[in-house]
Chains A and B, each alone.
Chain A
């Protein structure tokens, strides 16, 4: 491997440090703020609703972008999970369905 592979551009390094700093401040910032606010039952319920809300908000645009094939695969994953409650089977079924649908030209 040449020395060039191990060189780092100064500006690029600054960009990475900036990206790291902003991401860490977001990772730790929400946690820090919640330590200074009272966690009332209402706030707690809001926080408990977050996992589902984040999943829905993440997945829907992926489906809109990915089209019918992606949408069908996610339905397969959810159906497998409802039946079997095993994430790895649900994920495997979805990937297999995607491979099959794409081989079929969808």
Chain B
């Protein structure tokens, strides 16, 4: 079953980029903090920029830098790749959910575009999809803007270190979770969402208490999706 009227337009890309506005300060603050962490851990400037622009996955980069050691041993190298995979496991699910939308577009367009997949642009795109929007420029435009912001924001963080003495004092650290919470509101339609979110939340909390780290996102998401699939309206 494939969607009709799936398009990709410049206008859609611009619309996607504009929708990023509320979270831009949050992304820049996080990228700057990463730059500072990288400098403290002894990465060179180019190494920092390479990691940001190639890996392009915030939380996993922070966790990988906790495993990093200088000089980098083979063991630490494998650990960095392993924790990156663990933290980013949820990408399997969010990528899967784009299939009904992007599935009728040719692979030479969609597979390069999947490099720009993050939770943020995926959520913004899915909220629009939910409203009947089918121009996937909204996903691509926002993803590319986040990529630019993420790549560049490490620079001031790297050189100036404590550019903003304490991001927490300005509430910059709550921008991304607050955006997530706000995105939840239009997704709620009724009983099916209530139950699937309760199940997702319960599984996530239990996982977090037992294992900690980032596994809770993956287990909670799977539990919520299964619940959503089996709860009838």
Contact = CB atoms under 8 A, between A and B. Distances in A.
Interface of A: 1, 4-9, 11-20, 22-24, 26-35, 39, 41-64, 66, 70, 73-78, 80-82, 85, 87-88, 90-92, 94-99, 102-103
B204 A95 contact: no
B165 interface: no
A70 B175 CA distance: 10
Interface size of B as a range? 35 or more
Nearest to A34: B99
Contact of B96 (A1, A33, A88, A96): A33
Given A13-B50, A18-B77, A58-B180, 13 more contacts: A4-B44, A15-B76, A26-B95, A27-B117, A31-B99, A53-B221, A54-B94, A59-B184, A60-B216, A60-B220, A73-B178, A91-B178, A98-B171
A59 B181 contact: yes
B228 A54 contact: no
Q: Which 9 residue pairs are nearest across A and B when measured between Cβ atoms?
A: A49-B228, A53-B224, A57-B220, A98-B171, A46-B229, A94-B178, A95-B171, A30-B96, A34-B99
A94 B88 contact: no
Contacts of A61: 204-205, 208, 216-217
- For the residues of A in contact with B, the DSSP-based class is helix
B145 interface: no
Nearest to A47: B97
B55 A23 contact: yes
B91 interface: yes
B126 A88 contact: no
